[in-house]
């Protein structure tokens, strides 16, 4: 307190302090503060300054500039009569209240020097403990250097609060990552450039507002606002309608969609889907363009690399919540981005074969990569889309992008692919899709889908062809469809040529058993012709095309239908068979005479060859004895057509003379579903015996009645055919 001079006479003192009429009572600021300007706050000084009246303390920062006499009460109590100055006030001591500032903490807050202490010109100051003004912590000594905002915010509570005496931790630490430092507290709290707010701590509500960017006034907090001191039980709420926890569409629309975060203080950090879907799933155009769904196969870092380097971990909190679309390419991709409110545009996009695309728009297959049958050559596209090898143009359905990749693929509106990852119609990538299973049989002896050497999936990237020829090691590609599995293309089942791959079938008892591969007879440069039956007509020979039989020396492989008269032999009619088999030996008729002999036989008396045909003697068809010659009568079946065979056609009324394929199935064994009877050299099923005439074979019992063998139309009964047993 400011002391009056000791030289004042007693009568003056009495007049100043006790006069009730002649002179007005002395006011507080006339001793402690300043009269001009009027300020009730005691002057603060580093020492007892008799000139200014100042003394050691921090009154001016603990009281507002509009302080009144009652402003002293929180620390000094109600002993001061605010109307007049009482003589009891000048008692040589400083009185303190028992509970500084009426602190709400149990036990109250105290000044370290007690409730009163002697006044002196060289005081030793103390400090306060548990006082709400200092967040219930130990205050600095009275008269210490003033706190400076914002650097000294942590002198009372944490910066940010981290629990315990620093204040409730809540989710402060996570938000400090995004908005670090005291200057950013204003993102959620009013900006406090002074410490005036501390004087009412615990007696006023916490100030929570979202006035600063990026929220700019939007958002509300649902929790209680009066429980923030360390001694209080802190209960948290949540924030709603804030940009910070929105799906980000307000950058373009200006309108922040309603949303709710997880509770303040919930363990975290929050996952990506707490604010927006992963990837963001709002409807395109409502409220802004969106193509995230079409890029779902790519992680966020592919387009937002400066924000996240792996798609899940935020690399830059600043960029993650800055009210801007930071679009830049990540590892393995490249593009250039131009922002537009309605939907930005990317150009030279590596994922789009260096094409361009507008965000929110649709990109047809040709918008990224060539999409026509002639130009789409990546992987095995050409094999599927070109008529030469694949099923394109089949009836009733033509193969398009939609066939494998789902509805909308041709127009680019499917849920499809991006970032170099292809998705099929079933939503799976190549390794897991079942899109290949229908055409490329996975259920037969040859797994046409997954087999490492000849399966469709392992061979997608590099194919099985070199030019028009099958690569080495891929020769059995054909039987992955033509086996006993289910391969249906254009509604038609692929014929089973491979059989069971054990006792029957091409590699069981057909030509493949001798090591001959499909390409030996079939032309790999020819249209697969899925839309036509494998047959022939009288008017035009499409037998070659129907069965994809390759030319031999530039000429047709087989003449079907054949129309020669009896005893007319044209070697070129069997050109494919004779490209391996010896024509002279097979067409030899060694008999000198006979009712079935044509004098025009060019190979008569050539070296004999013994086959599984019957013996024929000069005496007639069924006579003969031990001296009979085992005959080779291919000639009789193919040239003596007035006596043998007749008109033949594999799928209807007869229109052709006999040919090799009437009796022989080059693919081995008999198979179902084929109207033409077929057999192989080992498929006669003769029963062997002997009598006075020698060894014989016959179609006895049910064997000879089998319509797939010799007895189907020409031979019957229990006729014995004499020949050496095989």
The 10s digit of each residue's pLDDT in 591-610 is: 554 445 677 778 776 556 66
For residue 173, tell me if it sits in a domain. yes
Other CB atoms within 10 Å distance of the CB of residue 543? 22
The 10s digit of each residue's pLDDT in 80-103 is: 554 554 566 778 888 899 999 999
For residue 266, tell me if it sits in a domain. yes
| Residue pair 105/123 in contact by the 8 Å Cβ criterion | no
CA 243 from centre of chain: 28
Sorted by sequence, the CB contacts under 8 Å of residue 601 that are 6+ apart come out as 569, 587, 589, 635, 639
ω into 109 cis (within 30 of 0):
no
Residue 543 sits in the same domain as residue 689: yes
DSSP string for 37-105: TTB-SPPB-SS--TTT--BSS-HHHHS-TT--GGGGHHHHTT-S-SSS--GGG-SSEEE--SSGGG--S
CA 98 from centre of chain: 68
Alpha-carbon span 398 to 385, nearest angstrom: 9
For residue 16, tell me if it sits in a domain. yes
Residue 236 sits in the same domain as residue 107: no
For residue 28, tell me if it sits in a domain. yes
Q: Which of 106, 127, 145 is the last residue of a domain?
A: 145
Does 438 have pLDDT greater than 60? yes
The 10s digit of each residue's pLDDT in 256-296 is: 777 777 789 988 788 888 888 888 888 888 778 889 888 88
Residue 141 sits in the same domain as residue 152: no
For residue 13, tell me if it sits in a domain. yes
pTM of the model: 0.54
Residue 589 sits in the same domain as residue 645: yes
For residue 293, tell me if it sits in a domain. no
Structural domains of the chain, count: 3
Residue 580 sits in the same domain as residue 720: yes
Give pLDDT, residue 198. 87
Q: Which of 209, 244, 276 is the last residue of a domain?
A: 276
For residue 631, tell me if it sits in a domain. yes
Residue 141 sits in the same domain as residue 131: yes
The 10s digit of each residue's pLDDT in 132-173 is: 999 999 999 999 999 998 889 999 999 999 999 999 999 999
Residue 84 sits in the same domain as residue 119: yes
> Can you give the residue range of the structural domain that contains 3?
1-145
What 3-state class would DSSP assign to 260?
strand
Within 386-498, where are the H helices? 401-405
Q: Which pLDDT band, with edges at 50, 70 and 90, does 720 fall under?
A: low
Give pLDDT, residue 22. 43
Give pLDDT, residue 504. 78
Nearest to 27 by CA among 72, 57, 59: 72
| Residue pair 178/321 in contact by the 8 Å Cβ criterion | yes
The 10s digit of each residue's pLDDT in 287-323 is: 788 898 888 878 899 999 999 999 888 999 889 988 8
Residue 610 sits in the same domain as residue 635: yes
Residue 235 sits in the same domain as residue 126: no
Give pLDDT, residue 122. 82
Going through 96-219 in order, the beta strands assigned E by DSSP cover 110-111, 116-118, 128-129
Q: Which pLDDT band, with edges at 50, 70 and 90, does 11 fall under?
A: very low
Q: Which of 276, 305, 329 is the last residue of a domain?
A: 276
Residue 109 sits in the same domain as residue 239: no
Phi, psi (degrees; rounded to nearest 5) at 378: -65, 145
Alpha-carbon span 156 to 40, nearest angstrom: 26
Radius of gyration of the chain (CA): 52
Residue 186 sits in the same domain as residue 53: no
Alpha-carbon span 234 to 171, nearest angstrom: 13
Give pLDDT, residue 49. 85
Alpha-carbon span 319 to 526, nearest angstrom: 59
Phi, psi (degrees; rounded to nearest 5) at 258: -60, 140
Residue 187 sits in the same domain as residue 64: no
Q: Over the chain, what is the mean pLDDT? A: 78
Sorted by sequence, the CB contacts under 8 Å of residue 106 that are 6+ apart come out as 231
For residue 37, tell me if it sits in a domain. yes
| Residue pair 445/462 in contact by the 8 Å Cβ criterion | no
Other CB atoms within 10 Å distance of the CB of residue 127? 17
């Amino acid at each position: 307190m400011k002391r009056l001079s000791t030289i004042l006479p007693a009568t003056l003192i009495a007049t100043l302090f006790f006069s009730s009429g002649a002179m007005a009572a002395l006011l507080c600021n006339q001793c402690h503060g300043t009269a001009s300007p009027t300020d009730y706050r005691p002057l603060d000084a580093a020492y007892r300054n008799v000139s200014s009246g100042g003394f050691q303390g921090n009154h001016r920062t603990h009281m507002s500039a509009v302080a009144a006499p009652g402003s002293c009460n929180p620390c000094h109590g109600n002993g001061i009569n605010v109307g007049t100055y009482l003589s009891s006030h000048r008692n040589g001591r400083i009185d303190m209240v028992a509970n500084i500032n009426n602190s709400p903490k149990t036990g109250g807050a105290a000044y370290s020097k007690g409730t009163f202490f002697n006044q002196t010109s060289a005081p030793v100051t103390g400090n306060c403990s548990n006082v709400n003004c200092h967040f219930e912590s130990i205050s600095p000594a009275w008269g210490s250097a003033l706190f400076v905002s914002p650097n000294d915010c942590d002198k009372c509570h944490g910066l940010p609060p981290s629990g315990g005496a620093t204040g409730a931790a809540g989710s402060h630490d996570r938000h400090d990552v995004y908005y670090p430092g005291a200057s950013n507290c204003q993102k959620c709290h009013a900006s406090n450039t002074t410490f005036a707010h501390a004087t009412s701590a615990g007696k006023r509500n916490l100030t929570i507002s979202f006035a600063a960017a990026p929220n700019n006034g939007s958002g509300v907090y649902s929790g209680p606002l009066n429980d923030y001191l360390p001694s209080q039980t802190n209960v948290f709420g949540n924030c709603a309608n804030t940009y910070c926890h929105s799906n980000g569409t307000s950058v373009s629309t200006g309108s922040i969609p309603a949303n709710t975060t997880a509770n303040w203080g919930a363990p975290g950090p929050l996952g990506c889907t707490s604010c927006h879907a992963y990837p963001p799933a709002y409807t395109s155009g409502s409220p802004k363009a969106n193509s995230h769904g079409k890029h779902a196969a790519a992680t966020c870092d592919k387009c937002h690399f400066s924000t996240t380097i792996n798609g899940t971990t935020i690399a830059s909190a600043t960029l993650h919540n800055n009210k801007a679309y930071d679009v830049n390419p990540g590892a393995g991709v490249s593009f250039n981005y131009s922002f537009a409110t309605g939907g930005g545009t990317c150009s030279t996009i590596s994922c789009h074969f260096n094409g361009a695309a507008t965000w929110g728009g649709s990109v047809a297959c040709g918008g990224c990569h060539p999409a026509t049958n002639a130009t789409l050559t990546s992987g095995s596209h050409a094999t599927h889309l070109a008529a030469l090898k694949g099923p394109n143009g089949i009836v009733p359905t033509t193969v398009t992008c939609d066939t494998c990749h789902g509805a909308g693929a041709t127009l680019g509106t499917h849920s499809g692919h991006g970032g170099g990852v292809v998705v099929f119609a079933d939503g799976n990538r190549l390794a897991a899709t079942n899109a290949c299973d229908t055409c490329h049989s996975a259920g037969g002896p040859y797994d046409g889908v997954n087999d490492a050497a000849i399966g469709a999936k392992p061979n997608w990237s590099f194919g099985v062809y070199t030019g028009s020829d099958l690569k080495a090691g891929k020769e059995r590609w054909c039987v992955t469809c033509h086996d006993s599995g289910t391969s249906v293309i254009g509604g038609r089942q692929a014929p089973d040529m491979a059989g069971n791959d054990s006792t029957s079938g091409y590699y069981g008892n057909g030509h493949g058993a001798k090591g001959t591969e499909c390409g030996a007879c079939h032309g790999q440069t020819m249209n697969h012709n899925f839309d036509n039956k494998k047959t022939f007509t009288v008017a035009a020979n499409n037998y070659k095309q129907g069965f994809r039989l390759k030319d031999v020396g530039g000429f047709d492989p087989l003449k079907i239908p054949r129309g020669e008269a009896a005893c007319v032999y044209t070697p070129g009619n069997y050109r494919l068979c004779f490209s391996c088999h010896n024509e002279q030996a097979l067409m030899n008729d060694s008999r000198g005479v006979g009712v079935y002999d044509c004098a025009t036989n060019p190979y008569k008396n050539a070296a004999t060859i013994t086959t599984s045909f019957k013996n024929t003697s000069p005496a007639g068809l069924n006579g003969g004895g031990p001296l009979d010659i085992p005959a080779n009568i291919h000639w009789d079946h193919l040239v003596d057509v007035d006596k043998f065979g007749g008109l033949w056609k594999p799928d209807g009324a007869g229109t052709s003379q006999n040919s090799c394929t009437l009796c022989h199935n080059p693919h081995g064994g008999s198979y179902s579903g084929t109207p033409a009877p077929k057999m192989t050299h080992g498929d006669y099923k003769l029963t062997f015996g002997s009598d006075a005439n020698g060894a014989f074979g016959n179609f006895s019992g049910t064997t000879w009645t089998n319509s797939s063998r010799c007895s189907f139309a020409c031979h019957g009964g229990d006729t014995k055919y004499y020949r050496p047993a095989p």
